[in-house]
Amino acid sequence: MDYRKRFHVNPGSKFKLSDQDPGFTDKLESEEEAKAQLDHYQHRLRELQDLLWVNQKHSLLIVLQALDTGGKDGTINHVLGAMNPQGCRVAHFREPSPEEASHDFLWRAHKAAPARGEVVIFNRSHYEDVLVVRVHELVPKAVWSKRYKRINGFENELAEHDALVLKFFLHISKAEQLRRFKARLDDPAKHWKISESDYEERDYWRDYAEAYQDALRECSTKQAPWYVIPSDHKWFRNLAVARIVVEQLDELKMKYPKPTVDLKRIKALYKKAAKHGS
């Protein structure tokens, strides 16, 4: 199965989030069955990131969005953690700081965008300004509804400067979210993640679904596609994201640059040094 085609939100389509099965696992039945594939894609991801870094011609921006417990941190740890941290960083988009709030909503996204050769992961993103602000009526519709066009312009500008922009909505069911909340309550190491707002936000589940559906419809473009990843099963989520990122990077057909030094001379110097043992 072509995961890029299966999970892609086609630009201009009447995409419905309710048609997407968050429990989908293709024909795979277990984490053990998926492990070999994930190992392959993680290894290839490391190779491709190295090519990205040494060539300094392209950059990669990965946007992760999800409802609470959707798996943004887990995706970063298990999939993108395979990359060399020297060429990769994570930008978190929490509640805007006073400085960020004093600028336009895309200012902090511009600041965090990747340079050529770099991979940047947005843990949440500029999409919060058409999601949270809409659901909680922090700004009027006349304001947030105009932001889709500005977001598309921002992402198109990144693409024009040789950035590969890939956006993933990690799609979980309401029942699976509740199970994950329970797991946090049962695990003392995860108590720090618990907040009352997590449960309060469940009252807005339908509102968030509508807000995400509109954002995915309006902002999935050829330059910056959206993928809706079934995420009730963490192991399938990891595999699907890794596979799509690898396949998209492979299409850049990157190669190692030719050497800029005289290799024959350097080999001769090496042989001379080895002969004399110094």
Q: What pLDDT, on a 0 to 100 scale, did the predictor assign at position 278?
A: 56
What would the two tokens of residue 95 be?
């509640």
Q: What pLDDT, on a 0 to 100 scale, did the predictor assign at position 271?
A: 86
Q: What pLDDT, on a 0 to 100 scale, did the predictor assign at position 273?
A: 82
The CATH number linked to 40 is 3.40.50.300
Question: Which range of residues forms the domain containing residue 60?
Answer: 3-276
The pLDDT averaged over each successive group of 10 residues in the chain (278 residues) is: 96 94 96 95 96 97 97 92 91 93 96 97 97 96 98 98 98 96 91 85 96 98 98 98 98 92 84 77
Specify the number of domains making up the chain: 1
Can you tell me the distance from the alpha carbon of 236 to that of 37, in angstroms, rounded to the nearest whole number? 10
pTM: 0.94
